[in-house]
Amino acid sequence: MTVRTRFAPSPTGLLHIGGVRTALYCWLYARRHGGTFVLRIEDTDRERSTDAAIEVILEGMAWLKLDADEGPFYQTRRYERYREVIGEFLQAGHAYRCYCTRERLEEMRNAQLAAKEKPRYDGRCRHLTEHPTGVPSVVRFKNPETGTVVVDDAVHGKVVFDNRELDDLIIERSDGNPTYNFCVVVDDWDMKITHVIRGDDHLNNTPRQINMLRALGATPPVYAHLPMILGSDGTKLSKRHGAVSVLEYQEEGFLPEALLNYLVRLGWSHGDQEIFSIEEMVAAFDIADVNKAASAFNADKLAWVNQQHLMRADGARLAALLRTQLGALGIDCGSADFVAIVECQRERAKNLKEMAENSRFFFVRPGVYEEKAAKKHLTVEAGALLGTLEAALTGVGDWSAPVLHALLTDLATAAGVTLGKVAQPLRVALAGGAVSPPIDATLAILGREESLVRLGNARRFIAAGSQIGAPGG
RNA sequence: GUCCCCAUCGUCUAGAGGCCUAGGACAUUACCCUUUCAAGGUAGCGACACGGGUUCGAAUCCCGUUGGGGACGCCA
């Protein structure tokens, strides 16, 4: 049997972290077993489905490289097929028309709730022999009234449901459109899905779906219900928890493989390993190792995982991404050695947006010195050192990090001070603050001309008694 | 309310009856390294929800309690 999994999001809301994790597990399982991964858009709720949400699903999946082998299929384009099956159900007595009004249903529900019972349809139209005409109706599936349904779940084990707990659910609305629980069954069957991997919240739907599958004469697939992902406060993930759409993580400068790495470890583990490449995930993933308990989303750990991937990723690739982030910040960065910048910044940022912010000074001269840093490092004493430095730098032949580093240490030794005494004032002069990548690398990237301009500005700032708030030009 | 699911450090998790004095990771604290910030290294703090069983022995098995989550829609 070749494995076929599917990811079936509904475009009634934007694709978020929870959906991505489900998609990842489906994709991983298919890849791991050389199977097929199908993407299906469940858009039968025409009121709430939006094109924007579909767009996010498609773009998000593309960004994450969770490529589908088949699809996207849209349920709204398969209505003919659903009607056909509903017709067959009606014919075979597996379904019936129900003429109960919404008002009656509502009253019944309230009464049941008041009587501390589980609200469910009472089956009034189930055995109707005469059918009213000119009255709107829905179609309900005739669920077995006795016996049990056993869901043999791949992560939860056997879960038993009593058919008496289930009622006759609506499979066709009064407007003639089919409903979710029914479409899923027909689609999973038609698309020959072998493993249904989805959120825990669908576990309760499963026995009804199995009953419909049986009515169809189909063999139920393997089910694997994944635990939910909760917000950082342990409650259900919602808009309140930031990042509504998965694409926001892209905008924030997260690497797709890092997001996936963080997500794969939420509910699954492989010994003590924390960092996985996509290939490693594919090789190690197994549903048998999936956890049963819900987990809370933790932004700190995501940030750490992202940094780990930032430290491992290809420099040229990162350079291109950094450029995009710089552009998003409105920084005009003509030509520069972006790879060199990435190399000295990758271990100093949690994400590419932060890296861009930290790298701003490479492209924009400091307009104002950070107050604390200027006060501490741009002293008269430092001014003298910077003067010596300026002269020395002017005469450097090979403007490279190792040469510059040697020059700096020699100068400090000659002046009888620690390297910090030279490096910190220089850092403030170049970067505008007390924080930057190693000073030799910073110098090398900035280049001789620009470095000397900034050095001169700092010296003038000191000479002016550090009274002016900003250096010239 | 009814049904279903779940329960190890603050968080993610290892743990398939003796290997557990409960391991790793994030976060946090201290120290080391060091030209700043990081990264890295070392150490510290920190958990088997509770109560009963079963067993020579339980974080691991069973029952109950409590707590959390989900479902109960002409939503998916």
pLDDT, tens only, A250-300? 999 999 999 999 999 999 999 999 999 999 999 999 999 999 999 999 999
Q: Return the closest nucleotide (C1') to the Cα of A98.
A: B74
pLDDT at A473: 39
Considering the entire predicted model, what is its pTM? 0.93
Q: What is the mean pLDDT of chain A?
A: 92
Give the distance, in angstroms, between residue A308 CA and nucleotide B40 C1'.
Answer: 12
Residue nearest to nucleotide B37 (CA to C1'): A435
- Extract the tokens encoding A419: 């390297």
Q: Which nucleotides of B are covered by protein (CB under 7 A)?
A: 1-8, 10-16, 23-27, 34-40, 68-76
Identify the active-site residue in A116, A142, A236, A239: A239
Q: Return the closest nucleotide (C1') to the Cα of A12.
A: B76
Residues A420-473: pLDDT tens digits?
A: 999 999 999 999 999 999 999 999 999 999 999 999 999 998 888 755 554 443
pLDDT at A243: 58
- ipTM summary value: 0.95
What is d(CA A375, CA A462) in angstroms, rounded to the nearest whole number?
10
Is the distance from CB of A3 to CB of A34 less than 8 angstroms? yes
For residues A357-381, give the mean pLDDT: 90
| Angle, CA A315 vertex, CA A310 and CA A316 arms, to 5° | 130
Residues in contact with A216: Cβ distance below 8 Å, sequence separation at least 6, in sequence order: A85, A185, A186, A189
Give the distance, in angstroms, between residue A444 CA and nucleotide B13 C1'.
Answer: 44
Give the distance, in angstroms, between residue A229 CA and nucleotide B47 C1'.
Answer: 21
- Extract the tokens encoding A72: 């996207």
Longest dimension (CA), chain A: 107
One DSSP character per residue, A240-256 reads GGS--STHHHHHTT--H
Give the distance, in angstroms, between residue A348 CA and nucleotide B62 C1'.
Answer: 52
pLDDT at A211: 97
Q: Return the closest nucleotide (C1') to the Cα of A230.
A: B69
DSSP code of residue A292: S
Identify whether A239 is a catalytic site residue. Answer: yes
Q: Which residue has the tokens 């493989």?
A: A257
Q: Return the closest nucleotide (C1') to the Cα of A120.
A: B72
Give the distance, in angstroms, between residue A60 CA and nucleotide B55 C1'.
Answer: 53
Distances (CA, A) of A198 to A5, A15, A20, A116, A247: 10, 14, 11, 31, 21
